[in-house]
Amino acid sequence: MNSEVKHRRVRTNGIWMHIAEQGSGPLLLLLHGFPELWFSWRHQITHLAAKGFHVVAPDMRGYGDTDSPPHHSSYTYFHLVGDIIGLLDDLNQQQAFVVGHDWGALVGWHLSLFRPDRVRGFVSLSVAFPRPSFMSAAFMTKTFGDGLYISQFQEPGRAEKAFGRYDCSTVMKKFLLIDKDDPLIAPPGVETIDFLHTPSSLPSWISEDEIRFFTQKFEETGFTGGLNYYRAMDLNCELLGPWNGSKVTVPVKLIVGDKDIGFSVYTKSYIEGPVLKDLVPNLEVVVLADAHHFIQQERPQEITDEILSFIAKLSS
């Protein structure tokens, strides 16, 4: 096994993508979400590499040391999935095991939908396969109002200006340590970032040094790249018409925390109902008690074990 995490950039789908990688063996991709980096997988990379995998965690398009196209029209699922296909090609691998969290999970779902031939199995953290009507920003704004964070993220520059009222470390803490008691729907006239509480102390699962790693990178890049994922939501809904009703046929394990802010709002009833089971016929669901949204950081060993047990089942 390679003894340390190595870093390099690869050319994929018209951009340069930074990847962190370790180990050798079957390819295992780890895709992060908002507002994160490859570093979100710091606990999993070494442990999974030690179990005989070539683990690759990219900075996704718009983040960290990966290129960040300026306009949101360059952040559709077709761009994001294309980035991963190009990465697989650069690594000379026909297939990979894929794990995604938050927006990385949405990329993983659509990679599995568009190109099941390239996915050996998919683990989705915190995000179920999306119902198209629920992924329209226009629908969400109509349903929940302008106080919804997704609505506030739509206008270019608005969230960036609001974030700018705080130091970057505070912004990271507000998002990474969000709790189900911090609903992401602000009162009228209030910005999401102002509504989120600033924790007075850090939980045991993250340190000031780890917050600082995120902070230093976002101080360099800003948040526009990550916000562009949200700004492409309505465009995605237009482009996904040909896939309405299509099933994800690859094996999937969905892992959610019961304290995730979205769990009680929509995920619980959705994963227990017939629609998701019909759309994802080869699905296993795991609900972690007392776990929040950023579960790969909060509950690293459990997530690593769940990934390994899923792969073992596929390989048996």
Pair of tokens at residue 232: 């492409």
Determine the pLDDT at residue 47. 97
Of 18, 32, 110, 293, which one is the catalytic site residue?
293
Low-confidence ranges of the chain (pLDDT < 50): 1
Determine the pLDDT at residue 182. 72
Determine the pLDDT at residue 133. 64
CATH of domain 6-315: 3.40.50.1820
Determine the pLDDT at residue 203. 94
293 is known as an active-site residue: yes
7 is known as an active-site residue: no
Interval 20-41: pLDDT, tens: 999 999 999 999 999 999 999 9
Domain spans of the chain, in order of start: 6-315
Determine the pLDDT at residue 1. 45
Determine the pLDDT at residue 227. 98
Interval 180-189: pLDDT, tens: 677 788 998 9
Determine the pLDDT at residue 34. 98
Phi-psi map region of 80: left, alpha, beta (phi>0 left; psi -120 to 50 alpha): alpha
Pair of tokens at residue 166: 């705080």
Of 63, 79, 230, 260, which one is the catalytic site residue?
230
Q: Where are the alpha helices (DSSP H) in the chain?
A: 42-50, 77-90, 103-114, 137-144, 149-152, 158-163, 168-176, 192-195, 208-221, 224-231, 233-239, 268-272, 274-279, 295-298, 300-315
Determine the pLDDT at residue 131. 76
Of 42, 53, 37, nearest in space to 2 by CA = 53
